[in-house]
Amino acid sequence: MSIRCLIIDDEVSARNILNRYISEINGICVVAECKNAIEALAILEKEVIDVIFLDIEMPKISGLAFLKTLNSPPNVIVTTAFREYAIEGYEHNVIDFLLKPIPFERFLTAVNKVISKKEAQAKRESEYTYFKTGKKNIQVYFNEILFIEGLGNYVKIHTENSIITTYDRMSDMEQNLPKSNFSRIHRSYIVALDKVKAYGPDYVEIGMHQLSVGNTYRELFYSRLSEISDKKN
């Protein structure tokens, strides 16, 4: 994971300090630096930016006035010598407010907030996928899936609240699902292990459904169930 930064400050010395601090942290880089907000607009139009280090008092347009013009701003860390802007800055949902001169330890705390936020976002994005049905793609969270049923050249995704039909192969579906919680039990079924409420020698019960366990998959499947049980105990 890399954090892409944009520095906006009219003072060369302030930009140099931020550049030096950023260079000391792995996984964070400066994409561009600007001496005013007008220059920054051009950067934001063509670059992916994760965090802006934004000064307040600058020529042409202030940092906070610039922030108001952005419909979907990246994360913003305010850097200023004026403490009185703190309340207004937080009203714009800035990540942090750094008062100049900025100690490195305080800078690192602010950057860690951005890193934590990006990691949480990445985790959320890994918790779901999209399935194409008809002319649209439907978002489905993995933890809502009960089991997947293969029916020739298409599959049915049985969730807690609906059934979604999509053209796909079971082999591809098996590869794309998180292996930590999904297991093939039959040529026609993939189940969510944490949704299995009961099982016997050749079947499992999920919700109101009883699904057959095929000979090819039986040993590995029951071994995985046993591992889960051992971890809980």
Domain with 102 in it: what CATH number? 3.40.50.2300
Model pLDDT, residue 233: 55
Domain that holds residue 82: 3-125
> What's the distance, CA 182 to chain centroid?
21
- Write out residues in the chain with pLDDT < 70, as ranges: 1, 85-91, 124-125, 229-233
Residues 84 and 178 in one domain: no
Residues 119 and 133 in one domain: no
Domain with 217 in it: what CATH number? 2.40.50.1020
Residues 8 and 105 in one domain: yes
Residue for token pair 């008062």? 99
pTM: 0.60
User: How far are the Cα atoms of 141, 146, 185, 223, 233 from residue 193, in angstroms, in the given order?
Assistant: 15, 9, 10, 11, 16
Model pLDDT, residue 90: 64
Residues 217 and 162 in one domain: yes
Residues 196 and 104 in one domain: no
Cβ(29)–Cβ(4) below 8 Å: yes
Q: Which of 80, 100, 125 is the last residue of a domain?
A: 125
Residues 8 and 114 in one domain: yes
Residue for token pair 């600007």? 34
Q: How far apart are CA 141 and CA 144, in angstroms?
A: 5
Residues 85 and 144 in one domain: no
**How many domains in the chain?**
2
Model pLDDT, residue 92: 72
Model pLDDT, residue 43: 93
Q: Which of 72, 90, 125 is the last residue of a domain?
A: 125
Residues 16 and 119 in one domain: yes
Model pLDDT, residue 176: 85
Residues 37 and 68 in one domain: yes
pLDDT in tens, 83-97: 776 666 566 788 999
Model pLDDT, residue 125: 61
Q: Which of 82, 109, 125 is the last residue of a domain?
A: 125
